A and B are shown apart, each in its own frame.
Chain A
């Protein structure tokens, strides 16, 4: 069964088309990435899934039936714009938010105590929210999103603003949730973070889905078309437009995409003429380079044959 299915959903604000004809589905228990640059329509899509805004056309299926407000009790949402009632005490606020999700005050108290300990916030339970650091507030917000044990967790940019230690802690919790059979939806523009966690993805740009499906399948369909290259010396070979379709300089290494028909060994020879190659690897393209290629409007088929 699909936890969520969007069917040709569109939303416009005046002339601005925020989301156009977006369709994808998330199977139960999957970790799904909704990816795209800022302003691509990700947040609007999320808002339409949970009824904050209503789609102009199209349909949202939740847990196998048309979306209704009662479904919200089974969904956890971490919005990109983080916010809490600043003057409330931490645990009181968590209990209040859980009650809105239909949890009894007793259960909410028990669970929030457990979560606060789990995320090292126990001693702040009676502090006011405004006394907490930003990172701590973000963890509180995360707890609020999962306190009612939702089957479906939606997270908009969950890692933004977290230091590496906290981000790692959060990632561990998410893996636990995944192992417990929850469906998770990430929305982010940081593709590298999601790459490690997601089963399947949908790439959106300018409100339109440009690529979607199983992450492994997508990457496989591009083949080992990318070359990751570390070198010292002249980079003139990168300008050989007849052989190289595009390249992405990451500083420590370059990722190249070859023109159809180019032999990778030619590149190695070319590079070693003028520079000292320290690493040469045929790799699956990173999500980021796929995205860049796709969003530049390249014909997908052409890219795939590279």
Chain B
């Protein structure tokens, strides 16, 4: 045990002192917040200039109503906040001729115009109109247009039937809805987008740290092998002690990093956290999440780092390692693909089985806990299976490791690896 402790200490101190560690520790939160918040910020940012669009309508009153609605929307979607409304500069036209449409088409094509909207008699009767633009994928813009047109037309119809403007505004106002999560007999307010983002954010944290530190273990084994320091170590310590010290040492670095991140999160003055605030506001994080976060990180890390240590022992170069680490990485990458499914349907059979299967459970069980705490027996079962698997992986990987670290030259074939496992 003393030897494991010494190796752990060396591994830890050598790593924490490097510039790489400090840089990664500081950049990672920015990166995660960046990939979650960044696209949304970009999507909803107010475009500098106004979007020039032309509304072609059968009558001036319809054209004016739509223009009015687009420039000063009365009816808004309660889910979206102010700044999501695009800024339109609306021009109107009553000329529905082919000639006019061709001209508008040319102007959109040349970039002179953002787009044009055709509200012919026919379109209104069909309740289906056409918007032609080059920016067809800007769904914020198209949603705003659709909302504006339908409320403008509805308002007109209501006015025709003698309903006052104030009344029609009230009628057209959408209803707001609060989602309240019932969990363990308690109610928590789960505000819109935050319920998805938080589990996703935490999942990314586990995912990236497990991957990064698993790979770190692999590279460190490979480095010891290539620098031939391995044999010196083995004249003092056993292969198991060496592997255990390394995995625990690197794991301790990972844990340190996570604690620093949690610390950074608490200091919410960080610009990144402030930027994320609107999305995380009035979201209550279940306490259990904080309990299970380090547990699942450590278990997941232990399992994967063992396998990475074995891969490191099998190969002789970075290139070989790149190829051979794929089978190890695959399940963990699959986790991130299944995460959305687990967030949306945390109690589906798929989510259940994936959260019990040891290669995916560290991430997916944790995601389920973050979304909606599953029955305790499921969590305990998942942890038990995981621990049993880790035990098996340690035994198996240590056997591969023990033989592999002393073998140089050709990359071993699968039958060879199986033979290594059988060696006494």
Interface residues of A (CB under 8 A from B): 14, 47, 50-54, 56, 69, 72, 75, 77, 79, 81-88, 96-97, 99-101, 141, 144
Contacts and interface: CB of A to CB of B under 8 A. Distances in A.
A172 B246 CA distance: 38
B232 A79 contact: yes
B14 interface: yes
B406 A72 contact: no
- Residue among A51, A69, A85 with the highest chain B CB neighbour number at 10 A: A85
A238 to B, nearest CB: 41
B19 to A, nearest CB: 12
Nearest to A51: B238
A121 to B, nearest CB: 17
Given A77-B235, A79-B235, A81-B231, 12 more contacts: A52-B234, A52-B406, A72-B236, A77-B232, A83-B230, A84-B229, A86-B227, A87-B14, A96-B6, A97-B236, A99-B6, A100-B236
Contacts of A85: 10, 14, 227, 229
Closest 6 CB pairs of A and B: A83-B228, A77-B235, A83-B229, A81-B228, A100-B236, A79-B231
Interface string B297-326: 000000000000000000000000000000
Contact of A100 (B6, B224, B230, B424): B6
B237 interface: yes
5 contacts: A52-B231, A75-B235, A81-B228, A83-B232, A96-B10
Nearest to B237: A100
Main secondary structure of the interface of B (DSSP, over half): helix
Contacts of A86: 227
A53 B235 CA distance: 11
B230 to A, nearest CB: 7
B227 A83 contact: yes
B46 interface: no
A144 B232 contact: yes
Interface size, B (range): 20 to 34
A85 to B, nearest CB: 6
A56 B423 CA distance: 10
A79 B230 CA distance: 10
- Residue among B3, B7, B235, B238 with the highest chain A CB neighbour number at 10 A: B235
Contacts of B128: none
B230 A54 contact: no
B419 interface: yes
B406 to A, nearest CB: 7
Contact of B231 (A51, A75, A83): A83
A14 B419 contact: yes
A47 B232 CA distance: 11
Interface string B9-51: 0100010000000000000000000000000000000000000
Contacts of B6: 96, 99-100
A281 to B, nearest CB: 43
B353 to A, nearest CB: 40
Nearest to A98: B236
A144 B232 CA distance: 9
B232 A97 contact: yes
- Residue among B232, B233, B234 with the highest chain A CB neighbour number at 10 A: B232
A100 B231 contact: no
Nearest to B239: A52
B75 to A, nearest CB: 65
- Residue among A51, A75, A82, A100 with the highest chain B CB neighbour number at 10 A: A100
Contacts of B235: 50, 52, 72, 75, 77, 79
Interface string B194-234: 00000000000000000000000000000010011111111
A161 to B, nearest CB: 13
Contacts of B229: 83-85
Nearest to A88: B14
A52 B227 CA distance: 18
Contacts of A96: 6, 10
A81 B231 CA distance: 8
A79 B235 CA distance: 9
Contacts of A88: 10, 14
A141 B232 contact: yes
A54 B233 CA distance: 17
Contacts of A84: 227, 229, 232
Nearest to A77: B235
- Residue among B7, B228, B229, B233 with the highest chain A CB neighbour number at 10 A: B229
Nearest to A80: B231
Contacts of A77: 232, 235
A82 B14 CA distance: 21
A97 B234 CA distance: 11
Interface in B255-277: none
Contacts of B424: 54, 56
A144 B3 CA distance: 16
A152 B234 CA distance: 16
Nearest to A44: B406
Contacts of A97: 232, 236
A70 B7 CA distance: 18
B242 to A, nearest CB: 10
Contacts of B233: 100
A82 B228 contact: yes
A253 B7 CA distance: 54
Nearest to A99: B6
A54 to B, nearest CB: 6
Nearest to B424: A54
Contacts of B10: 85, 88, 96
Given A83-B227, A96-B6, A96-B10, A69 B232 contact: no
A85 B235 CA distance: 15
Interface string B179-206: 0000000000000000000000000000
B195 to A, nearest CB: 45
B1 to A, nearest CB: 13
